[in-house]
Amino acid sequence: MSDPRDIWIVVLNEMREHVRMFANKNVMEFKDDEYIAFSVGLGMVDVLCKRMIEDIMENKNDRE
């Protein structure tokens, strides 16, 4: 049976890829200040996902 932490890492990684795609494509077609706010918000989600992955990896290594 696989470790649930591995599944979370995959899900968070996929989410990071989607966040980058949304930011690059500007799916909402924002302009100027709206686009800046949009990309900053997505950047924050990306950083959060990255930190969560790092935390999961750290916990995983500590327990093994």
Q: What is the pLDDT of residue 16?
A: 97
Residue type, 44: M
Q: Mind listing the pLDDT tens digit for each residue in 16-63?
A: 999 999 989 988 899 999 999 999 999 999 999 999 999 999 987 777
Of 47, 48, 26, the closest CA to residue 37 belongs to 26
Query: What does the alpha-carbon distance between residue 35 and residue 44 come to, in Å, rounded to a whole number?
Result: 14
Q: What is the pLDDT of residue 17?
A: 96
Going 10 to 11 to 17 to 20, the CA torsion angle's sign is: negative
Q: What is the pLDDT of residue 28?
A: 86
Confidence of residue 1 (pLDDT cuts 50, 70, 90): low
